[in-house]
Amino acid sequence: MLQAFGNYKEKEAAIAREYARKIEDAEKEGRTNEAERLRREAIQKQAAAAESELGKDDHFKTFFKHTEKQAPENGEKRAC
């Protein structure tokens, strides 16, 4: 299981190490479907860690809050 790590780079490295081991074990045992599932899961975990890290940054929060206010409600593209 992943431990709590201090910064994003440590989390990313821990996820990579953990899943590399799991994928290697699955491939050695011929479980190719599980290995592929684990690859996708590792990508999702790394993306979640990155998103969590970005959520801590007040500059990003301010930027995205500002852009959300400018985005049209119905999803149509606006002419510039």
C-alpha torsion sign, points 52, 34, 24, 21: positive
Tell me the per-residue pLDDT of 50-80, one tens digit each, with 9 for 90 and over. 887 777 666 555 655 655 555 555 555 555 5
With CA atoms as reference, report the closest residue to 11 among 19, 72, 24, 77.
Answer: 19
Which amino acid is it at 64? F
Are the CB atoms for 14 and 2 separated by under 8 Å? yes
Q: What is the pLDDT of residue 73?
A: 55
Which amino acid is it at 60? F
Is pTM beyond 0.85 here? no
The residue count for the chain: 80
Helices (H) and strands (E) in the chain, counts: 3, 0
Q: What is the pLDDT of residue 11?
A: 85
Q: What is the pLDDT of residue 59?
A: 59
Mean pLDDT of the chain, nearest integer: 77
